[in-house]
Structure 1
Amino acid sequence: MKICILGAGALGCSIGGVLAMGGSDVILIDRNQPHVDAINGAGLKMRIGDEEKTVKVKAYTSPAGLEPVDLVVILVKSFATRAAIESARNLVGPDTLVMSIQNGLGHEEILAEVVGREHVLAGKTYVGGVFLEPGRIISGYKGKHTYIGELDGRLTPRLQAVVGEFNKADLLTTASTNIMGTMWDKLMVNVAAGALCGITRLPYGWLYKIPEIEEAGVAAVAEAIAVAKANHIRLTSEEPKYYWDLAAEGLPADFKTSMLQSLEKGQMTEIDFINGAVVRWGERSGIPTPVNRTLVACIKGIENWIVSFGNQ
């Protein structure tokens, strides 16, 4: 199967590199020129546990001029989703599938608007990746699960083919008939602590020591659960504390959410696709979401400060 990873940062390289090792024909697309040059020059260096492997894979800074592929995996920052897929229309042939495995909600709607709903799969992954330097990453894929599904919940041959391709590479992948439930389960984890970590600047070891922060995180999840129930989403649990605890499970005290990591780099966050998604779905469903709305406002305030004053 010919697969393009659109957004080959740490996670994109982690998944793309493992797929390439499993025999898939993988293309990596990333705007980071030194990163692309390093991959093309010496291969993608992947630290997997105590080993470091070198994977030969082609990398480009743009999809322009490339031929259609079987599967496009979207792993750009959420706010760049529309621009990324619009720039990659040439990769989408009559039978090409396009799949987001980004954090948050709302990507599938964007992809469907650009390439057509009939091309879109949905996915969620717990695979991790850490960027070390251009052309070199840590891949945290062992024991981490990925879920892929059709938007209508059917188990189709094309879905099974993609799942089979991932499993061939030892990516633990399941075809889901409840992909929306899976996506909301992952959303709950991000809603629980992502924004609070970004606002307070506290890594988990300190974040989880403060009762008032736990109260706010649990309240944000409770709102999200109410919204999910109103939309007939099947969740693993309807207990807010379950997701607050799950968010920190197995993570070290110095762990920082991607939202905090983005702010520390002076970058915009994915708040609109996480807590912001809860607010939007709540508005459509008539469910009030004051806690999530406040968290969105705080993060947007920090982002605005970075843009306005961060370089002073």
Structure 2
Amino acid sequence: MKIAILGTGALGCAIGATLTEGGHETWLIDRSATHVDAMCRDGLRVDGAGNSTYVSVRATTQASEVGVAELVIVLVKSFHTDAAMRGARALIGPDTTVLSLQNGLGHEDILADVVGRERVLAGKTYVGGVLRGAGHIESGVVGKHTYIGELNGRITPRVKAIAHAFNAAGLATSVSDNIVGTMWDKLLVNVATGALTGITGLTYGQLYDEPLLKEASLAAVTEAIAAAQAAGVKLSMADPEEAWTLAAEGLPASFKTSMLQSLEKGSITEIDFINGSVVRCGQQHGVPTPVNATLVACIKGIERAMADRRREEISA
């Protein structure tokens, strides 16, 4: 299968390396020329399971170099979804399928506006990764599951074919007939740890060693579960402890969430699509979400401080 991954940070590279080694013509598309050049020159360095390997990957900054793909996996940051997909129209042919594996909720509607709803699949992955440098990641693929599905819940030949291709390559994947519920399940995991690590700057090992932060996490997840249930979403978990435990399974103590990685790079985060989604859903269905609203406000405050510092540095 010819696969293009749009947005190859840590997660995109982890999945891309796995699919490449599984025999698929996999293209890693990223706007960072430094990152792409390093991968083209040396291969993608993948650390994981106690060893380090170099994977010879196809990488480019230009979607036009790739041409039409059978499958486009979207993994850009949430706030770049529209612009990234519009800039990658060269990937889209008559039979191209577009699959979002992004964190949070709402990306499928954005993609549908660009390529048509009939092309779009939704999905969630528990694969993890940390970008260590240009062309260098720490990967958490082993033991981590991916779920994909049609937006209408149907089990179609195309979604089964993609799942089969992923599984054959070593990316454990299941087809879901309740992808909205599946997306909320993953959202609960992101709500459990993302904002808290972003605010505190803690790795997973540090986060899971602090009882007070666990209490805050469980409170945020409890709100998210209540909001989802009020919206009629069918979840696979009802106990906040499940999300807290699942978030760290198979990941090293040194692991940093994508939200923390974004802040450490001075970038804005996906908070609006994660905890912000919980707040919006709660508002729509009359469910109070004060913990999530506070977490959103704190992350927004950190982003504001970073922006102010940049302006001061530029004007100095």
TM-score (normalised: structure 2): 0.91
> What is the alpha-carbon distance in structure 2 between the residues aligned to residue 23 and residue 218 of structure 1?
41
Tell me which residue corresponds to 1:98: 98
Q: Structure 1 residues 19-28 or 244-253, which shifts more?
A: 244-253
Counterparts in 2 of 1:221 and 1:268: CA distance versus 1, 3 Å: same
Answer yes or no: is the 8 Å Cα contact 2:78–2:273 preserved in 1.
Answer: yes
Tell me which residue corresponds to 2:241: 241
Answer yes or no: is the 8 Å Cα contact 1:64–1:87 preserved in 2.
Answer: no
Answer yes or no: is the 8 Å Cα contact 1:217–1:244 preserved in 2.
Answer: yes
Q: Does 1:259 align with 2:250?
A: no
CA-to-aligned-CA distance 1:34-87 (integer Å, 9 cap, x gap) = 221222233333345345444333211121354221110011111111111111
Q: Structure 1 residues 57-66 or 249-258, which shifts more?
A: 249-258
Counterparts in 2 of 1:197 and 1:93: CA distance versus 1, 3 Å: same
Q: Does 1:111 align with 2:132?
A: no
User: Structure 1, unaligned stretches of length 5 or more?
Assistant: none
Q: Structure 1 residues 36-45 or 46-55, which shifts more?
A: 46-55
CA-to-aligned-CA distance 1:258-297 (integer Å, 9 cap, x gap) = 2222212211111011001111222222322222112111
> What is the alpha-carbon distance in structure 1 between the residues aligned to residue 215 and residue 49 of structure 2?
36
Q: Does 1:17 align with 2:17?
A: yes
Is the partner of 2:64 in helix, strand or coil?
coil
RMSD (Å), alpha carbons: 2.0
Identical columns (%): 60
CA-to-aligned-CA distance 1:238-265 (integer Å, 9 cap, x gap) = 1223323433445444443222222122
Q: Does 1:301 align with 2:294?
A: no
**Alignment size in residue pairs:** 312
CA-to-aligned-CA distance 1:83-130 (integer Å, 9 cap, x gap) = 111111221122111111111111111111111110101111122223
Tell me which residue corresponds to 1:70: 70
> What is the alpha-carbon distance in structure 2 between the residues aligned to residue 58 and residue 254 of structure 1?
29
Answer yes or no: is the 8 Å Cα contact 2:196–2:213 preserved in 1.
Answer: yes
Question: For residues 114-125 of structure 1, what are the structure 2 equivalents within 5 Å?
Answer: 114-125=114-125
Question: For residues 83-94 of structure 1, what are the structure 2 equivalents within 5 Å?
Answer: 83-94=83-94
> What is the alpha-carbon distance in structure 2 between the residues aligned to residue 138 and residue 206 of structure 1?
18
Answer yes or no: is the 8 Å Cα contact 1:144–1:172 preserved in 2.
Answer: yes
TM-score (normalised: structure 1): 0.92
Answer yes or no: is the 8 Å Cα contact 2:187–2:274 preserved in 1.
Answer: yes
Is the partner of 1:72 in helix, strand or coil?
strand
Answer yes or no: is the 8 Å Cα contact 2:144–2:250 preserved in 1.
Answer: no
> What is the alpha-carbon distance in structure 2 between the residues aligned to residue 153 and residue 3 of structure 1?
23
Is the partner of 1:26 in helix, strand or coil?
strand
Q: Structure 1 residues 149-158 or 127-136, which shifts more?
A: 127-136
Answer yes or no: is the 8 Å Cα contact 1:108–1:122 preserved in 2.
Answer: yes
> What is the alpha-carbon distance in structure 2 between the residues aligned to residue 53 and residue 214 of structure 1?
35
Question: For residues 1-312 of structure 1, what are the structure 2 equivalents within 5 Å?
Answer: 1-64=1-64, 66-309=66-309, 312=313
> What is the alpha-carbon distance in structure 2 between the residues aligned to residue 178 and residue 252 of structure 1?
30
Q: Structure 1 residues 189-198 or 249-258, which shifts more?
A: 249-258
> What is the alpha-carbon distance in structure 2 between the residues aligned to residue 51 and residue 252 of structure 1?
13
Q: What is the Cα deviation at residue 199 of structure 1?
A: 1.6
> What is the alpha-carbon distance in structure 1 between the residues aligned to residue 276 and residue 130 of structure 2?
26
Counterparts in 2 of 1:184 and 1:46: CA distance versus 1, 3 Å: same
Answer yes or no: is the 8 Å Cα contact 2:4–2:27 preserved in 1.
Answer: yes
> What is the alpha-carbon distance in structure 2 between the residues aligned to residue 5 and residue 187 of structure 1?
22
User: Structure 2, unaligned stretches of length 5 or more?
Assistant: none
